[in-house]
Structure 1
Amino acid sequence: MTQSTNNTASTAEGWTNPLRDPRDLRLPRIAGPCSIVIFGVTGDLSRKKLLPAIYDLANRGLLPPSFGLTGFARRDWSEDQFKAFVRENVEARCRTPFRENTWKQLADGIRFVQGAFDDPQAFARLSDTVSELDRERGTRGNHAFYMSVPPRAFPVVSRQLADCGLARSAEGAWRRVIIEKPFGHDLQSAKELDRVVSEVFDPSSVFRIDHYLGKETVQNLLALRFANAMYEPIWNANYVDHVQITMAEDIGVAGRAGYYDGIGAARDVIQNHLLQLMALTAMEEPVSFRADDLTAEKTKLLSAVRLPRDLAAHTARGQYAAGWQGSHEVAGYLDEKGIDPNSTTETYAAIRLDIDTRRWAGVPFYLRCGKRLGKRVTEIAVVFKRAPHLPFESTATRELGKNAIVIRVQPDEGVTIRFGAKVPGGTSMEVRDVSMDFSYGQSFTESSPEAYERLILDVLLGDPPLFPTTREVELSWKILDPIEQFWATLGQPQPYRSGTWGPAEADEMLARDGRQWRMP
């Protein structure tokens, strides 16, 4: 069946996709002919997230028949052995049903290249493999390179791609690079890393992954704020008392000691995930949700962040000690395998930030994250001021707290609104906190795609709204670097028992402001 060009959407490469009509945003966005090369394909991220996400995209019909997947690793594997590895991890972790016909189509485009990152011959073989996919699968010179590798490997892989000619594409095709966090370990290293990557790839072709921005609930934050008339008028300092953004984990370092020790909770989570969540929570309404417009508002917001004058009073850090996680006794951080027993790396971090804008002047933002805490939860809590006048007896409102809107990012995605309501029965007026809850799982029959599905598809489409820019990364490090430099002068972090909610100084930090942490 032939359709007129008025009813189709064309990519920049000239490939016409009859299933994409720009007049109907409900239709699926389907990638054009292309391939992905995954460096570090045998690692945890690839096994647990990337390979299942690629299969699920194919299973949902969002990848074209002319799609290729190439793994690059040290393993001395044949192509069949690599395909078996991919299938094993896909079957174990795919979100959608496993179908043999989907697998066969995907497997026909799977390739494997054995080699080390510093081996030019391995990259020559990779170049040959990519050319083979162009000829045999029709990928048309469109290739994305996913660096699922430690940050220290980014420069060497980038230079190897340049030397073998893979970083630049022929006219009408594209090459893109996907970089996992952390992007540097401070402002200086981030700038140096950006310089190296930008020498190889055009800046518009560099996609910095922050998987939190691909979560449905994070995107729903924008819908909550800007699609509803009831919230935006009160989303400011006139009504908001403070904001708490929490990312709590109930696990320890669990096999990540080599990466985590020396990095710590603030660099691992606050610099990227939590500052991005804060930017989306507090930014002004963008002109549109195109990448440039979203970036403009997030950049303005991050530029207006002010650190507390007294870092000792308004930051806190801790290190988990032995304790109980549920019914299991667990070791402390310093007793974990691979951790230096004298390590001063924090596993808990909390900071107060202020935003010097008309909307948020005087409203503190409290960011906290940690491992071995009471439960696994990520949430944004916008806590409102008390009503200016309560025409009730004092005994009637003694159990009444502050109103709050809580956006639950994980694991139970949704939104909770907390407000006061009369307790039924009796003749006296008694007001108590109640909650009104929206849950994704109960309100929608569609299952939410994994964040990596959304983000990988966005890379293949060349659609970058959910990817932090160089400027955002640099502003985030400018916020965190002074705090890290201050902490480096303090020695050992304060211990806290595993299974609790962090060190005592974190509670003291809020108590100084007359507030307390929410109990998720």
Structure 2
Amino acid sequence: MSFDLVLFGGTGDLAWRKLLPALLQAHRHGSLPAGGRIVGVARDDLSDAQYRDLIRSRFEGVEGDKQPSEDEFARFAELLHYQRMDLTQPADYQRLKDRLAERNADVVVMYLATAPQLFTVACEQLGAAGLATPHTRVVLEKPLGHDLQSNRAINAAVRGVWGERQIFRIDHYLGKPSVQNLLALRFGNALFEPWWRRETIASIEITIAERLGVEKRGAFYDQTGALRDMVQNHALQLLCAIAMEPPINAHADAIRDEKLKVLRSLVPWTDAALAQNVVRGQYGAGQLAGEPVRAYRAEDGVAPDSHTETFVALRAGIANWRWAGVPFYIRTGKRLAAHEAHIAIHLRPTPHPIYPTPLVCGTNRLVIHLQPRDGLALHLLAAASETRGVRALAEAPSLTPVQLDLDFQQRFGAERVGAYERLLLDVIAGRLNLFVRADEQEAAWRWVEPIMQHWDAQNARGEGPRPYAAGTWGPGAASALVARDANTWLEEC
């Protein structure tokens, strides 16, 4: 199958850091279909050769198995081409159409790795130029809008050009091997289904922590914030994977139907719940790995009086029979103490304990590690071996925490398919299972929008985000949030 992948924003940060390295890995693995062509599109004035040199420089200094050999990159470079375009100029779309007509590939993928405000004009111009054909697919990067209204406007413009089955709204967390294993864990093993419910599970924690700050994305991030950047998409998609009912099959719409039910079942916000169950923070100066780091407001591109949140912690609930009364804690932030993402499922204690148990929070829990480690650990209690004297037969043995640990990288090898590699291959093949449907996005925006409105009202009163020092786990109010339910975050156990 021949394909053309047109990468709008072909010299941008996302293409540089994620997309082109993922395509190179797919080519190295032999999974990229033969007869392909990658056309980078941007406003820079480059030739094909200059574009190839630019992408080659991306891998200078890369260590380990991510570093391609000269021969490997030379073969990959044969796929790389470049087209200078101004996305607001209709004549440039006609030139792109002429270039694509040279091959008439079986599949054409339009990947919009651009600023979201360009999605509408790009789609409308692609349609006007006759580039939205039945064998064309469009990929939309997050964030898709900045609120419910803008999300609906973008989706309406895109659906005016393409059918829903041609639209691939990407969330790279859904392509992570660990998230795929979460679905396999739930729906491929009979062991877990009987206790995957409120009667057995006491609480669930989703943490996505980053040690990095905003880096070179200060201007973008200051208009976005952690809620839009991480919670509305990544965190809620993880929540759906944990909480959804078993789909009738593994087809795309069956899975997405069940995720939508979860989003629609989230307990809606009230003023009292917003005040008590949502914490926002912003990092100040601090230290990471012994090195001083500057405050968020001192970052390039950030307003010196910014109220943009770099940290969010919240308590959510799901109003259905499976999850009624189970708190779901979501936490994400920048400049935190670790680079780590995990899902911790804390089980209820035994109804009638007959052994003395150690004072360990969430004594029985399942922890699904997403990054940097990829695996899962089941935390249990076992009888401690006795090495000092003989115990009375009538005395119950003491228990000690133990864990069953599975490291997916060790089990399956380091050359596993990465998130973007998997998703790009799925786009080319036309598989929609790991992509987000429009009604899912709308439901997610509808749930988070009251939080944004609550913060706007706080800002108007001069109440900004809570400060926290870089290198910590965020504001102290985040610990108080879970402590009200007699719970703790995983690192506090």
Looking at structure 1, the residues matched to 481 and 290 of structure 2 have their Cα atoms a distance apart, in angstroms, of: 30
Match of 2:351 among 388, 391, 402: 388
1:507 and 2:479 aligned:
yes
CA distance in 2, matches of 1:317, 1:49: 29
**Separation in structure 1 between the aligned mates of residue 60 and residue 5 of structure 2, nearest angstrom:** 20
1:98-497, aligned counterparts within 5 Å?
Answer: 98=68, 103-134=73-104, 139-140=105-106, 142-169=107-134, 174-309=135-270, 310-393=273-356, 397-399=358-360, 401-425=362-386, 426=388, 427=391, 429-445=397-413, 447-491=415-459, 492-497=464-469
CA contact (8 A) 1:38 1:145 kept: yes
Q: Residues 140 and 168 of structure 2 are in contact (CA less than 8 Å); yes or no, is this contact kept in structure 1?
A: yes
Residue type at the aligned position of 1:220: N
CA gap of 1:230–1:120, structure 2 versus 1, over 3 A, is: same
| Corresponding letter in the other structure for 1:233 | P
Residue 211 of structure 1 contacts residue 452 of structure 1 at CA under 8 Å; is this kept in 2? yes
Distance 1:446 1:511 in 2: 38
Distance in 1, matches of 2:52 and 2:359, equals: 63
Distance 1:478 1:194, change over 3 A: same
Q: Tell me the residue number matched to 1:17.
A: none
Structure 2 residue identity aligned to 1:424: S
Q: Which amino acid in structure 2 is aligned with residue 195 of structure 1?
A: A
The Cα of 1:102 is off from its aligned counterpart by 5.1
Question: What's the CA shift for 1:399?
Answer: 4.5
Matches of 1:131 and 1:99 in 2, distance apart?
33
Counterparts of 2:76 and 2:171, CA distance in 1: 26
Is 1:518 matched with 2:480?
Answer: no
* 1:500 Cα deviation from its structure 2 partner: 0.5
Paired residue secondary structure (2:82): strand
Q: Is the 8 A contact 1:377 1:410 kept in 2?
A: yes
The runs of 5 or more residues in structure 1 that have no matched partner are: 1-31
**CA 1:401 to 1:152, structure 2 compared with 1: closer, same or farther past 3 Å?**
closer
- How well do the aligned residues superpose, as a CA RMSD in angstroms? 1.8
Asked whether the 8 Å contact 2:361–2:488 carries over to 1, the reply is no
Q: What residue ranges of structure 2 are gaps of 5+ in the alignment? A: none
d(CA) in 2 for partners of 1:386 and 1:191? 45
Conserved? CA contact 2:269–2:450, under 8 Å: no
- For residues 414-459 of structure 1, the C-alpha deviation after alignment (integer angstroms, 9 at most, x for no partner) is 0011111223224373222222211012222362111011000000
1:81–1:307 CA distance, 2 compared to 1 (3 A): same
Residue type at the aligned position of 2:166: S
Change (3 A) 1:270 1:401: closer
For residue 160 of structure 2, give the secondary structure of its aligned residue in structure 1: helix
CA drift at 1:38: 0.4
Equivalent in 1, 10, 14 of residue 45 of structure 1: 14
Q: Secondary structure at the match of 1:286?
A: coil
Deviation of the 1:106 alpha carbon? 3.8
Cα deviation code 1:334-391 (max 9, x no counterpart): 1111111111110000111111111111101111100011101111111111111111
**Counterpart Cα distance in 1 of 2:205 and 2:361:** 19
Change in 2 beyond 3 A, CA 1:199/1:487: same
TM normalised by structure 2 equals 0.93
How far apart in 1 are the matches of 2:465 and 2:322?
Answer: 35
- Comparing 418-427 with 86-95, greater Cα deviation is found at 86-95
- Normalised by the size of structure 1, how large is the TM-score? 0.88
Task: Out of 489-498 and 272-281, give the one that drifted further.
Answer: 489-498
SS in 1 for 2:138: strand
The structure-2 alpha-carbon separation of the partners of 1:400 and 1:407, relative to structure 1 and needing over 3 Å to count, comes to closer
Report the 3-state secondary structure (helix = DSSP H, G, I; strand = E; otherwise coil) of the residue aligned with 2:58.
helix
Query: How far is 1:97 from its partner?
Result: 6.4
1:216-261 superposed Cα distances (whole Å, 9 cap, x missing partner)? 0000001111222221111100000010000000011111111110
Q: Do 1:68 and 1:106's aligned partners in 2 also have CA atoms closer than 8 Å?
A: no
**Partners of 2:361 and 2:89 in 1: how far apart?**
65
Matches of 1:485 and 1:501 in 2, distance apart? 25
Aligned to 1:8: none
Identical-pair percentage: 38
Q: Distance in 2 between matches of 1:48 and 1:287?
A: 37
Cα distance between partner residues in 1 of 2:448 and 2:368: 24
C-alpha separation in 1, matches of 2:38 and 2:318: 44
In structure 2, the partner of 1:87 is 56
Secondary structure class of the residue paired with 1:87 = helix
